[in-house]
C-alpha cells in the first residue's frame, strides 16, 4: 500500500472538520460513499471528454480538464490548490513557486508540439518529462492523477498517437505509471510511454 497524502489545511478549506471528508456538491459525509459517487461521475465525464477531445495549447488545459472531470463533485473543480501537499514525507511543489512552474510546463508543451510525429522516442521522452513535472506540481487538492492522465492522452493525440496510462485490461501499465510518478523515475515513465505509443 502506498504512503498516504498529508495536507496542511488548518482552516479546513476543503474538508469538513467533523468528518474529515472533502466537502462535496452531493453532500456525502461517508468516505467510501464519496469514493463511489466521485468515481462514477468522473468516469462519465472522462468518457464524454474522450468522445470530444480538444487541442492542448498550454498548461491552462490542466485546469479546464480538472473542472470538466470534477464539476459534478467539487465546487473548487478547476481551481489551483491553496494547501500544501506531501506524500511519504516528500512535499509536492510549494504554492509560493506556482507562478514559475506553469510557464516552465508551457515551454515543455511547446517543445513537444515541435517534435515530428514519427519521432516516437523523442515524443515519449518529452511526454514523460511533462508528466513528471505536472505530477510534482500536483496543482489540485484532489484528482491530480486522473487529470494528468487525460491531459497526457489529449496531448499525445496532437501527434496522432494514443496514450492510455490506466487501461481497464492492463493493470501492469497503471502500476508502472504509478511507480514512475511516485518515484520521479523519468526513465521508467519514458520506457512505458514509448511502449504504449508504438503498439
Q: For each successive 10 residues of the chain (199 residues), what is the average pLDDT?
A: 76 93 95 96 96 95 98 98 90 93 97 97 98 97 97 96 94 96 95 93
Q: What is the pTM of this model?
A: 0.94
The CB density around residue 21, as the number of other CB atoms within 10 Å, is 15
d(CA 16, CA 30): 11
List, in sequence order, every beta strand (DSSP E) within the chain. Answer: 5-8, 84-87, 90-91
Domain ranges of the chain: 5-197
> Which CATH number is 5-197's, of 3.40.50.1220, 3.10.180.10, 3.40.50.300, 1.10.3290.10?
1.10.3290.10
Provide the 10 A C-beta neighbour count for residue 115. 18
pLDDT for 3: 62
Amino acid at each position: 500500500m502506498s504512503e498516504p497524502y498529508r495536507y496542511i489545511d488548518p482552516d479546513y478549506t476543503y474538508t469538513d472538520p467533523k468528518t474529515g471528508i472533502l466537502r462535496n456538491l452531493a453532500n456525502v459525509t461517508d468516505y467510501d460513499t464519496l469514493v463511489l459517487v466521485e468515481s462514477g461521475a468522473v468516469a462519465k465525464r472522462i468518457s464524454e471528454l474522450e468522445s470530444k477531445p480538444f487541442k492542448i495549447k498550454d498548461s491552462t488545459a490542466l485546469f479546464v480538464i480538472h473542472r470538466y472531470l470534477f464539476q459534478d463533485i467539487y465546487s473548487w473543480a478547476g481551481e489551483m490548490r491553496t494547501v500544501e501537499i506531501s506524500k511519504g514525507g516528500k512535499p509536492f511543489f510549494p504554492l509560493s513557486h506556482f507562478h514559475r512552474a506553469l510557464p516552465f510546463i508551457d515551454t515543455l508543451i511547446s517543445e513537444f508540439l515541435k517534435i515530428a510525429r514519427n519521432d516516437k522516442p523523442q515524443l515519449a521522452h518529452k511526454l514523460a518529462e511533462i508528466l513528471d513535472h505536472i505530477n510534482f506540481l500536483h496543482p489540485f487538492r484532489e484528482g491530480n492523477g486522473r487529470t494528468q492522465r487525460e491531459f497526457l492522452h489529449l496531448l499525445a493525440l496532437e501527434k496522432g498517437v494514443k496514450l492510455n496510462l490506466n487501461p481497464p485490461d492492463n493493470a501492469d501499465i497503471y502500476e508502472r505509471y504509478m511507480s514512475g510518478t511516485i518515484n520521479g523515475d523519468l526513465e521508467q515513465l519514458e520506457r512505458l510511454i514509448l511502449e504504449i505509443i508504438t503498439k
